[in-house]
Structure 1
């Protein structure tokens, strides 16, 4: 019993002694730790005070514990943040990120500071309040979040600037960021050179190859679209490129490029075959604008007088005209669809007959029904009409049997700007309020003129707005009759009526209905009709 008591007593003494030892040891260590923390805090605060001059900032820092102080000390070691906190102009410098002329490098520097400020404000609520007050006109948190996208956009913008002459870039730089985005879409990688070696004359007078024509066309379109976006650029463009009418090339250049490509294809096909007068090269719709036209080519004498005859079908009379063979023979007035046309070529020595098949017109093309025909029905005595169908402009010539002998493809009207066509002298014209383009009877561009230039050389052509649901015109003929045109009659299916009456008796000599594909009066309108000699 005594032995057991002694063991318990010894154990108790050991336990108490160990507890007293631990308490004493902890007290000593805690004391030294506190001294260490206080020393470090004092040291770090002094370091921060040497770096940051603001008393208000340092008063806030004096209340922050060691861990927070370490973060502040680490961040303020960076020159970028230190300058932002000390420099009174730093806010204005950082607000430059919203200006259109900022560079990517400048934006990157502002993004770095924004992220440092965002990290710094996490140290304490009071410090965050100070920073928000100090940078009240600059949302550094927002910039920290979207900065990468902003810099990416600015780098793309700098790529755009690298594609442009400085004079153009300087104007774009002062525009908004939104316009810079639109500029990027317009250019789409196209480089605009400071100098352009070629002139408008080179382009329109066939002095360039296809590659240079296409390049000049793309550049011209870009210049025109840029000045449409930023009007101030027009003066800059005209100063940079005094010999380049980029507006004309942008508007009509594709017509010339398409013709150039067609000519190259014709020459390629012709060179690959062995053609003779008896077995000539025949190309239907060579310029993709007049579906019932043909180009015939064979070796031999140029400037040769040739008689062309398109044989009439059924009761139709032959259509005959003389041409001068200049490298090739241009044939028009062929029948559309059905059996092959028989085209006769006579060079005064030998006559050949060439079968030529013209495919049917697409469904959206018109059809003609002759209601009455009496009087002069010679082969050349035909009706020409201009009309609009769903904004596309058509030119149509048909004979007194109702056969379409000429139709101009409306796909020229790519911009739906209200253009339409008219037959004039020996050419077909395509015009707007601004300019006139003249085409040969097989659809190749002959020339282009301003409306003013055209009217000086020819009878003035008034511009008629297109798309009216009803239109009437009168064409007084030498044989004492009048052709009346009515765009629509009050019936369900839209049609144009062309009626010729005797001026004295009122007797109907000729009448025809032109039917349209669209069952909608607002999408079809005949502008005018007249009797013409075709060819004239």
Structure 2
């Protein structure tokens, strides 16, 4: 087919356009560079873009003064300004007619709503960025907003808004006017703690609601805890509540006074300390009862439970048949590690239980049980290793025949834990009362067959197996410490049977390693009859020391 002249022209033009396009594409970098270097084209483009940005800025801001101050800014700064003005909160404040009403002092006081605080914080971030564009703009902001120090607001990092939000949440939880005022006075840190205390605990919410029936029930539970006792589930909840109420009273003086006024006589700290021990012991008793129901135990086939209440790793509970209740029994712990046999007498209780005390750590202890009718049973009890925080004991001197009989009770404390123990004259630890989960500093003494554990918060009584028996006010608690020649001196005990005295030094750094000392002296002979040095891990007395030391009969 023969092409017409017109068709030939169209094809030729098309080929030309295609070739030119290919050439332009291949030479695009060179062409772009030449266009960019063209002052006429570049200036025209910049001016056009600048006018467009200024028009956008003019539409956003109302102040003619500010519009004048913008003149002379570079295109780059104008573009930054335009982006900043996209912050709606900033633009709202910037264009406000009542500029003096915006106050950083009021913001930082927290005396505004959450929405106002959030808006002002977000706006102030825009103010700070805006002020960096020029001194004129910075001066305009300072003069137009005389009460607003936007830098202070931004430096607060939005904490005021968070604080207000937290307060609003807590204020909704109570209808009591006095509690509302207390909550309003709390700072951010206190509100965070309050949030942690409340958690999901419905009882604390009942307190905040100031439910009178609930408050009455708390009073009744407090009375029952120390008298007739509480059902297990009730006790568990009450201990949790008491701990939280104690934390609440330490959060702010207002809470402390409010709780004291509206819940008088209820000592929540003592309740949760005692209740925590009691709760653990109830759990232990439940486990023991389960074991007792599994089979019938007898003198010849007893049930043996090492450390039955989780606090005395060198004791055991032995369960025999109930028919032996009230019978006397002699118990002998056969000697190990240089110590002789230890023998004591006791009576089997109504549940057919008897205590084994004075075991050796990390050993398969051999024990003989001998009833008053002559029947005898040998048992063995395997013990584990003791806690590493206990001091190493070195006996430097002993004259047994001239010493007062008994073992040495040590009120040993670290910075965070109270762990009294007893050691014999050969330096073997024979008893530990681990109360460190609840008590971090305590004096320990003996009252009959029971332990008295005292500090400035409460006085607890434990039986020989570590079961809590009672709690009371710390009326006779008093620290007795003084320094003499670099030694923390504690006490001297008179030992009447041998007319000796036991001097106990709680901490000394006069030797190579920090230590405490038990030293028994003959009063008449002036001779040292016994000396035990207890080496500590830490180098200062706040970290580890002996608060008290006594010569005692273990059982």
Asked whether the two chains share a fold, i.e. TM above 0.5, the reply is yes
Match of residue 430, structure 2, among 405, 419, 428: 405
User: After superposition, what is the alpha-carbon deviation per residue over 1:93-150, rounded to whole angstroms, capped at 9, x for unaligned?
Assistant: x9754344654355457679889999999xx999997775454213579869989775
Q: Is 2:364–2:380's contact at 8 Å kept on the other side of the alignment?
A: no
- CA change 1:253–1:135 in 2 (3 A) is farther
In structure 2, how many angstroms separate the alpha carbons of the residues matched to 1:519 and 1:113? 54
1:112-261 alignment, distance < 5 Å: 133-138=143-148, 151-162=161-172, 166=176, 167-187=178-198, 190=201, 192-193=204-205, 194=207, 195-196=214-215, 197-198=217-218, 199-204=221-226, 207-208=229-230, 212-242=234-264, 244-261=266-283
In structure 1, how many angstroms separate the alpha carbons of the residues matched to 2:445 and 2:306? 23
Q: Is 1:100–1:177's contact at 8 Å kept on the other side of the alignment?
A: no
User: After superposition, what is the alpha-carbon deviation per residue over 1:209-254, rounded to whole angstroms, capped at 9, x for unaligned?
Assistant: 5554454344333333343342122111123333532132355543
- CA change 1:397–1:247 in 2 (3 A) is closer
- Report the counterpart of residue 29 of structure 1 in structure 2: none
Superposition deviation, residue 157 in structure 1: 4.0
Aligned length: 463
More deviation in 264-273 or 101-110?
101-110
- CA change 1:130–1:520 in 2 (3 A) is closer
- Asked which structure has the greater CA Rg, the reply is 1
Q: Is 2:99–2:144's contact at 8 Å kept on the other side of the alignment?
A: no
User: After superposition, what is the alpha-carbon deviation per residue over 1:493-524, rounded to whole angstroms, capped at 9, x for unaligned?
Assistant: 4454434344333455x414243252746455
The 3-state SS of whatever aligns with 1:359 is coil
The 3-state SS of whatever aligns with 2:241 is helix
Q: Is 2:270–2:458's contact at 8 Å kept on the other side of the alignment?
A: no
Match of residue 464, structure 1, among 456, 477, 480: 480
Q: Is 1:306–1:324's contact at 8 Å kept on the other side of the alignment?
A: yes
Superposition deviation, residue 442 in structure 1: 1.1
Say yes or no: does 1:396 pair with 2:421: yes
Superposition deviation, residue 350 in structure 1: 5.0
- Report the counterpart of residue 305 of structure 1 in structure 2: 327
User: After superposition, what is the alpha-carbon deviation per residue over 1:414-470, rounded to whole angstroms, capped at 9, x for unaligned?
Assistant: 54xx43322333221221134211111111111111122xx4xxxxx6433499844
* Structure 2: stretches of 5+ with no match in the other structure: 1-58, 71-81, 208-213
Say yes or no: does 1:371 pair with 2:397: yes
Superposition deviation, residue 343 in structure 1: 4.1
The 3-state SS of whatever aligns with 1:475 is strand
User: After superposition, what is the alpha-carbon deviation per residue over 1:178-224, rounded to whole angstroms, capped at 9, x for unaligned?
Assistant: 43344345545555232443332344457345554454344333333
- CA change 1:337–1:413 in 2 (3 A) is same
1:442-461 alignment, distance < 5 Å: 442-452=465-475, 455=476
The 3-state SS of whatever aligns with 2:266 is coil
User: After superposition, what is the alpha-carbon deviation per residue over 1:353-391, rounded to whole angstroms, capped at 9, x for unaligned?
Assistant: 33222223344433353732332789xx31323243543
Superposition deviation, residue 321 in structure 1: 1.6
Match of residue 290, structure 1, among 312, 318, 321: 312
Q: Is 2:118–2:161's contact at 8 Å kept on the other side of the alignment?
A: yes
Across the aligned residues of Structure 1 and Structure 2, the Cα RMSD in angstroms comes to 4.8
TM (normalized to structure 1)? 0.68
* Structure 1: stretches of 5+ with no match in the other structure: 1-44, 65-70, 456-460
- Report the counterpart of residue 350 of structure 2 in structure 1: 326
- CA change 1:177–1:500 in 2 (3 A) is closer
TM (normalized to structure 2)? 0.66
Q: Is 2:495–2:502's contact at 8 Å kept on the other side of the alignment?
A: no
Q: Is 1:497–1:514's contact at 8 Å kept on the other side of the alignment?
A: yes
More deviation in 425-434 or 498-507?
498-507
